[in-house]
A and B are shown apart, each in its own frame.
Chain A
């Protein structure tokens, strides 16, 4: 089985809860790859809910000593 898609790391979103970079999977869940995986040069992001996986395109040097991104994820707000 081949990768469902090839996605650049820039197009993935850091998910602080999962502590992983994520990308939408057509099954409704998220493809995921952890920072530790990236540090090791891993380039496969798997979906925990189905059999699909992605190839992640990134520069290994950028992630050799990378730390977790500190992006606060905004909570939904109601605007009446």
Chain B
């Protein structure tokens, strides 16, 4: 710190203040993690499971600036308010983007992206994506299902720019287990990766995957504002609050390879997808879709006997205070189990 021009008394006061701040800083934790930790995905420096929230070990310079955390199969990506990116956890497929395949038990700055301002990140089972403020898309990790959109099925251990979007403006990402969804500024949705359950839209028969991004059709006259993915499920929300779901069936056995509007009577503000269920927030009420078989959900939640294509608003709902943070947290607890995703704003 520069102190040369400060008078001695003021300097002492400043130093005292600084010490107070430092003390405060040390006591302040900004993000926590819990659950499975054997690949270092808790980011607390260890490789152990934890039942209780553990403070994430961020380097001091990024404390207080973490704005978002994405959790993958056993790795995680943190985004700071300055557009910097940190990754940790399992690195076996290069998904941490550090140029190697090491597991790292604490958040590590992704140096490759230091000259870019990142605005959105997403983590799939073993792959990662980063969007820059100018709309470029960078990817790394496992590509065996074409989920990197690179035109081949090779893994990458450093982020590379997806050339398919070089002339387009990427805005948001949502990655599932083996697939990737991309939302452009012009509101179009692209998908690539595993196509087995219809999760990247309508495909040729017997086509198991696509390694080149393709347009997801089926949003007539509407502007998609957000996209979601998890497991083999995909979803999109338009500006009027209409939700579309496709991919592996959340209820029943009939997968859907094109976006299907659900809950037409609800105006939906937010949703979250798990591996076997979805949560939907509308006018302060939380709705769920999916089976109760894993006993992860609130006992109020009941599976619907209706096939997915005939989804009506569920008969049970859970009153909720409408706080997105709580929804997020709920999503975290019920869905990921392994990772954390609790960020504190």
Contact = CB atoms under 8 A, between A and B. Distances in A.
Interface size bracket, A side: 20 to 34
A77 B155 contact: yes
Interface string B311-345: 00000000000000000000000001111000000
B93 A76 contact: yes
Q: Chain B at the A interface: mostly helix, strand, loop or mixed?
A: loop
A49 B276 CA distance: 20
B169 interface: no
B145 to A, nearest CB: 9
Interface string A34-62: 00000000000000011000000000000
Contact of A78 (B36, B39, B41, B99): B99
Contacts, number: 57
Contacts of B156: 76-79
Given A74-B153, A77-B155, A28 B338 contact: yes
Given A24-B125, A49-B36, A77 B338 contact: no
Given A11-B196, A77-B157, A28 B41 contact: yes
Interface residues of B, number: 31
A27 B73 CA distance: 8
Nearest to B101: A76
Interface string B107-147: 00000000000000000010000000000000000001000
B275 interface: yes
Contacts of A2: 293
Chain A interface mostly helix, strand, loop or mixed? loop
Nearest to A13: B144
Given A26-B275, A28-B36, A28-B38, A78 B158 contact: yes
B146 to A, nearest CB: 13
Nearest to B232: A11
Given A50-B36, A76-B155, A77-B156, 9 more contacts: A26-B336, A27-B337, A28-B73, A49-B38, A76-B93, A76-B101, A77-B154, A77-B157, A79-B158
